[in-house]
Amino acid sequence: MFERRQPIPIGEAVKKIMEHQLVGVMEQVPIEESYGRFLSGDLVATSDVPHFDRAPYDGFAVRAVDTKESSQNNPTEFEVIDHIGAGMVSNKAVGPNQAVRIMTGAMMPTGTDAVVMFEVAQTHEKNGIPFMTIKRSFKPGENVSFRGEDAKEGEILVKQGTLINPGIQAMLATFGYKNVPVAKKPLIGLFATGTELLEVNENLVPGKIRNSNSHMIAAQIHRVGGAVHYYGKLPDEFDTCFEAVKNALNEVDLLITTGGVSVGDFDYLPAIYEKLGAEVLFNKVAMRPGSVSTVAQYNGKILFGLSGNPSACYVGFELFARPIIRRMLFCEKPHLRKEKAQLEVDFPKANPFTRFVRATVSIESGKLKASPSGLDKSNIIMSLSGANSLMILPGGTRGFEAGTEVDVLLLDDQVGCEWHW
């Protein structure tokens, strides 16, 4: 009557996918476009930072040795022989009891090794020549930013696979990366299946619903760092459908279909895998929702047959497709970040299988709290909008009480996890 499938544990399913070493590709993008991309190689300092000794404050550059005897009762006078701003270089050599008026960021003049801040200097003029006086001593190196203090040439500063944030943009600019080597976005093909599906601009009719999964998955692909090619709805006719999938596989790195993988009478994805000669890695996973998630490999490409149920589809993408996409972006921690949180409400539902509950994680006095973000039926779209995490409730229980510590997978996070199954 209906096909019996053997469910495999989640960790085993993920492992079977990750054994396929899809290789990331490097591309160069202008620095104006590198924010939010992933570094395809380590970021190495191309020079010392700063690359010259410089003044960290506005003041007077002096030779510390000349200030040695200076004190409240024994002020020392300096002749101010030059005046430089940031970006200027004094071409005067500073001798005994001479000083250069210097602005923040300017290069220390030859011979000087300390900066006297304006606040502690008294200025005056003698015969039109500027002088300044101090009443304390300075140590050699005092108020000086030294060459290489921030970074040394050749140092690895940021690892391959790191998401480029504003701080890294600043570093890339500092080191002259006019073009930045980043991971090419893996191209993910996307098909929707289902006779019931209307496009977003179509009017509702009895029995039909608008296709929401494709738009949701496309956003999930963008969030993880991939690019999307949406092929539209698979036709109902098997042969046309088979050709469409086969052709798409030539154009993309990974292919995702939503719906059609169950054991329902109109679920023909399994037959497509069979005709393709694709190797089915698994077609049932011991989890809820998303138990019918099917993954196959064909010619070094991976086909994700995700459930047509929005929540199952969402979870299936995050658990199974995300890590391989992140691996292609050179990430060392490709999986969703897993943390502990305290369950805020009772979750009385009996739980034969490991369950992923769309949840909102909040922070209270520095501690993570989790509560379901809505009704937990697998066809409920609304609970997805408030979800920033998936709460993992292990199987084989009769429910959970408020206060229990639970594992949560953080959805909006960029840190990730090496492996957590």
Closest approach of its own copies to the CB of residue 414, in Å: 7
Report the site for its own copies in 373-402 (rule: CB under 8 A): 375, 377-387
Closest approach of its own copies to the CB of residue 130, in Å: 11
For residues 155 and 274, which CB has a smaller minimum distance to its own copies in the complex?
Answer: 155
Residue from 6, 365, 398, 418 binding its own copies (CB under 8 A):
365
Q: Structure tokens of 220?
A: 């999930």
Q: Is the dihedral of CA 240, 302, 38, 184 positive or negative?
A: negative
Report the site for its own copies in 66-95 (rule: CB under 8 A): 83, 85-89
Report the site for its own copies in 124-143 (rule: CB under 8 A): none
Residue from 235, 340, 345, 419 binding its own copies (CB under 8 A):
340
> What is the b/e burial string over 277-292, where b = at least 16 CB atoms within 10 angstroms of the residue's CB?
ebeebbbbbbbbbbbb
Dist CA 318 CA 327 (whole Å):
13
- For residue 173, the surrounding DSSP H or E stretch is helix 166-174
Dist CA 180 CA 287 (whole Å):
41
For residues 179 and 240, which CB has a smaller minimum distance to its own copies in the complex?
Answer: 179
Q: What are phi and psi of 281, to 5 degrees?
A: -75, -40
For residues 213 and 297, which CB has a smaller minimum distance to its own copies in the complex?
Answer: 213
Closest approach of its own copies to the CB of residue 295, in Å: 20
Q: What are phi and psi of 250, to 5 degrees?
A: -75, -15
195 binds its own copies (CB under 8 A): yes
Report the site for its own copies in 302-331 (rule: CB under 8 A): 308-310, 314
Dist CA 69 CA 254 (whole Å):
74
For residues 68 and 139, which CB has a smaller minimum distance to its own copies in the complex?
Answer: 139
31 binds its own copies (CB under 8 A): yes
363 binds its own copies (CB under 8 A): yes
412 binds its own copies (CB under 8 A): yes
For residues 35 and 242, which CB has a smaller minimum distance to its own copies in the complex?
Answer: 35
Size of the site for its own copies (CB under 8 A): 109
Report the site for its own copies in 235-294 (rule: CB under 8 A): 262-266
Cβ–Cβ under 8 Å, residues 142 and 115:
yes
Residue from 72, 125, 204, 250 binding its own copies (CB under 8 A):
204
Q: 144-147: which pairs have CB atoms within 8 A and are 24 or more residues apart?
A: 144/53, 144/54, 144/55, 144/56, 144/108, 144/113, 144/114, 144/115, 145/50, 145/53, 145/54, 145/55, 145/56, 146/50, 146/53, 147/48, 147/50, 147/51, 147/52, 147/53
| Segment interacting with its own copies, rule: CB under 8 A, options 20-28, 157-165, 347-355, 395-403 | 157-165
Q: Structure tokens of 278?
A: 């694709």
The residue assigned the tokens 């085993």 is 12
Closest approach of its own copies to the CB of residue 300, in Å: 28
- For residue 374, the surrounding DSSP H or E stretch is none
Dist CA 152 CA 308 (whole Å):
53
For residues 214 and 297, which CB has a smaller minimum distance to its own copies in the complex?
Answer: 214
Closest approach of its own copies to the CB of residue 155, in Å: 9
Closest approach of its own copies to the CB of residue 188, in Å: 14
Residue from 161, 186, 194, 416 binding its own copies (CB under 8 A):
194
Residue from 118, 238, 419, 421 binding its own copies (CB under 8 A):
118
User: Measured in Å, how far apart are the chain's first and last C-alpha atoms?
Assistant: 34
Pick from 282, 307, 265: nearest CA to 1: 265
| Segment interacting with its own copies, rule: CB under 8 A, options 61-69, 238-246, 278-286, 359-367 | 359-367
110 binds its own copies (CB under 8 A): no
Binding mask 209-228 for its own copies (x = CB under 8 A): xxxxxxxxxxxx-xx-----
Closest approach of its own copies to the CB of residue 134, in Å: 14
For residues 327 and 369, which CB has a smaller minimum distance to its own copies in the complex?
Answer: 369
Residue 395 is classified by DSSP as S
Closest approach of its own copies to the CB of residue 249, in Å: 23
Dist CA 24 CA 256 (whole Å):
18
- For residue 304, the surrounding DSSP H or E stretch is strand 301-306
Give bridge partners of residue 361 from the DSSP assignment.
370
Closest approach of its own copies to the CB of residue 15, in Å: 25
